[in-house]
Amino acid sequence: MLARYVLSILEVILNLELDHFFILTKPGAEIGDLIASLGVEESFCRDHEGQGTSNRRFPVSNSMLELLWVRDATEARNGPGKDLFFPERNETKGASPFGLLFRRKDNLDSSQPFDGWKYQPDYFDPPMAFHVGENSGRLNEPLCIYIPFVEPAERKIEKGTFRSISKVKISVPSKSISDTLSKAGSSDGLEIALGEEHLMEVTFNVGACGFSKDLRPVLPLIIHW
């Protein structure tokens, strides 16, 4: 029985991959101009009604980097996304500014990959809703969000300097991590490490050019390409 249980958990973990990810930043996310100047193509931006946030989006063939900020703190604290604690993450020293969103790789197992709660945003029509990991109240960890309504699809990894993301590494300044983050960290395209500071490292095109850009202290992000 124990062996079957362990196998079931591993199957769920292995069926998970990183869909896209975000970094909480200052309103307007002016640092996005620097990211765009490197050659990363920017898409449309949007407001998230009821969540109190807005974004700038940098999609590639297999993922997306999103810069997110609190547009309306009152809406963020009282809307259906209040338990995402976006204002609190901005205001609390040592809080993680990161969010990780996942999809399943196939339909062999469509169960939730980690324990959590249903988040029905105002900007989605039911029954489309997120499954938010139960570690959402641990402000020192990245938000982990599963997107059950996204159907698995083969995402072609396109050639080119900023056409695809090879790896995202998240450093967490902690001695241990939650079960939710541990499971999320087993997904394809993501590495979770214990470090001295909150830091995200994004590698484009397997780092073929051998270049890096450190955006600290403005943004806890290092881009490799």
Q: What is the pLDDT of residue 14?
A: 59
- Residue for token pair 């695809």: 164
Does 210 reside within a domain? no
Q: Which helix (H) or strand (E) holds 212?
A: strand 212-214
Strand, coil or helix: 76: helix
Q: What is the pLDDT of residue 4?
A: 36
Does 217 reside within a domain? no
Phi-psi region of 160 (alpha: psi -120 to 50; beta: other; left: phi over 0): left
d(CA 36, CA 39): 5
Does 13 reside within a domain? yes
**Number of separate domains in the chain:** 1
Mean pLDDT by 10 residues, the chain (225 residues): 37 75 98 98 97 98 97 98 98 98 90 96 96 98 97 80 96 97 94 97 97 98 98
Structure token digits, residue 125: 């029509």
φ/ψ (deg, to 5) at 17: -145, 155
Q: What is the pLDDT of residue 9?
A: 40
Edge-to-edge strands, sheet with 47-48: 47-48, 53-59, 64-70, 16-24, 98-104, 143-146, 130-133, 116-119
- The burial of 28, by beta-carbon neighbours within 10 Å (0-12 exposed, 13-18 middle, 19 or more buried), is given as middle
Does 199 reside within a domain? no
Q: What is the pLDDT of residue 171?
A: 98
Q: What is the pLDDT of residue 43?
A: 97
Does 38 reside within a domain? yes
User: Which domain, by its residues, includes 136?
Assistant: 2-158
* CATH (domain of 69): 3.10.180.10
Structure token digits, residue 90: 């901005």
Q: What is the pTM of this model?
A: 0.91
Does 204 reside within a domain? no
Q: What is the pLDDT of residue 158?
A: 84
Does 142 reside within a domain? yes
Does 86 reside within a domain? yes
Q: What is the pLDDT of residue 120?
A: 98
